[in-house]
Amino acid sequence: MGTAEQIRNQYNRIPPRIEIMDSTLRDGEQTNGVSFLPHEKLMIARMLLHDVNVDRIEVASARVSEGEKEAVRMICRYAQSIGKLERVEVLGFVDGNQSVDWLLDCGGRTINLLAKGSLKHCLQQLHKSPEEHIADILEVVKYADRHQVNVNLYLEDWSSGMKDSPEYVYQLIDALKDSSILRYMLPDTLGIMNPLQGVEYMRKMVKRYPEMHFDFHAHNDYDMAVSNSLAAVLCGARGLHVTVNGLGERCGNAPLSSVQVILKDHFQAVTQIDESRLGDISRLVEGYSGIAIAPNQPIVGENVFTQVAGVHADGDNKDNLYCNDLVPERFGRRREYALGKNSGKANIAKNLAELGLELTPEQTKRVTKRITELGDKKEIVTQDDLPYIVSDVLKHDAPEDRVKLVSYVVSTAYGLKPGANVRVEINGKQYEAGATGDGQYDAFVKAMRFIYRKYLNRTFPILANYQVSIPPGGRTDALVQTVITWQMDDGRLLRTRGLDADQTEAAIKATFKMLNIFEVES
């Protein structure tokens, strides 16, 4: 048989042209809990055909429901209007003329006929001999021919057939090879195959029937759908079946995005896919299906183009040391550098540069320290938060804090007034007090007023206004900005801000910025 490398070297002499058939609207809809409305099917079909530019789409199973028929009619009307009607396919059954008539009533022109690809399925599910099953298939094919309907043939459970009853598989194709069937579609229906078997089985098919067009249809039960798809292409398959986001029964099918990029990058295969729209179709199907995309899903996941470690950002600054062929711009996206406790100066610098913010090395160091502190409290710090973090660090930042928070405890309980106990250091001396108030921050301020009045015999500035907001684009579990306006003894207003994951702590930070300004001016 030869090694996989030998096969690859031989096959890669001429880049293969691979047809991509997307079955999201048929096989993908068999995902537990997924049911697309007719207009949703139309929107997905439009994007697959027009924007993503897949070769073919399988949109339904014949004879399922009136709603399914309406969806197929809508899709066929659209496909015909753009000259792509023959790219729309419907799964049909070996049922005489019923599936073909159903397809014709919808305006369709291509049927994917479901036959049995293993002797076990033929005998035990159909209770028919191979000869009887072949005769039934030919009857449907001839009826389709009379009505100018294109026929592709699924050999359901083909992988089991090749494993347990290969002579049955050959008997079936030998009897059908002179018919008008355009493509023979070979499914790993139970998801049991591994890539070595994929190489073996597909090579046998191509060697025996070199002129035939074979599609491969993978299932992901052993997490090998993509690997098996590539093994099939390596050995001569001309088409692959995929679904958006890997939707499908049980563990799903081979994901469109993963199959596309591996075909192109590792096998130099030629497809018609517009890679820049893979993210768009992924999000559309995510929204309609209700099945969330994992953040680390290759190509389309939220986090896959986000560098977290500072050393990676540093490497990217030095000739893109941490980049590969999967550049985000290829897919209509951009690389991001996450902000959090693992961020280094290079990460911060990348984000600052994108926002057009220029800081000195010392300022960048202080901003990095602040982001690290915030990252220890909350997982998410967004780029939209960054200007606010910069302001928080640099604005009203005295060279040395003369008023420092040593420790504090705030509490709240049902039926009791919130309380606060505070210990602060003012000009090198520590003071402590406790108080209750209408809220945790109110209790904190009252404790501070008590310290200033009793121990320092000084007036504490009056709180004139208090605003809380989430920075635009930020998330509710990220940062809270508190802006407090203070009225000073001389009547002027002073505004300070605090930024933190906790609202009370953000207000306390704003308070201590005011107190340090107050102390310097006193």
Angstrom distance (rounded) from CA 339 to CA 381: 5
| pLDDT greater than 50 at residue 138 | yes
Contact assessment for residue 382 and residue 478, using Cβ atoms and an 8 Å cutoff: yes
**pTM for the full predicted model:** 0.70
Contact assessment for residue 58 and residue 22, using Cβ atoms and an 8 Å cutoff: yes
What are the structure tokens assigned to 354, written together? 């994108």
Angstrom distance (rounded) from CA 322 to CA 238: 34
Amino acid at position 386, single letter: L
Angstrom distance (rounded) from CA 52 to CA 71: 20
CA angle 408, 410, 413 (to 5 degrees): 160
Lowest-confidence pick of 173-187, 251-265, 339-353: 339-353
pLDDT digits (tens, 9 = 90+) for 33-65: 999 999 999 999 999 999 999 999 999 999 988
Reference 58, options 211, 68, 221, 66; nearest CA is 68
What are the structure tokens assigned to 291, written together? 């099945």
Reference 515, options 421, 353, 386, 404; nearest CA is 404
What are the structure tokens assigned to 346, written together? 């290079």
Contact assessment for residue 357 and residue 388, using Cβ atoms and an 8 Å cutoff: no
pLDDT digits (tens, 9 = 90+) for 246-263: 999 999 999 999 999 999
Angstrom distance (rounded) from CA 248 to CA 245: 9
What are the structure tokens assigned to 204, written together? 């046998």
pLDDT for the residue numbered 231: 97
Contact assessment for residue 245 and residue 282, using Cβ atoms and an 8 Å cutoff: yes
Q: Is 156 part of the annotated catalytic residue set?
A: yes
29, 68, 89, 156: which one is catalytic?
A: 156
26, 56, 335, 497: which one is catalytic?
A: 26
Q: Is 26 part of the annotated catalytic residue set?
A: yes
pLDDT for the residue numbered 373: 76
pLDDT for the residue numbered 196: 97
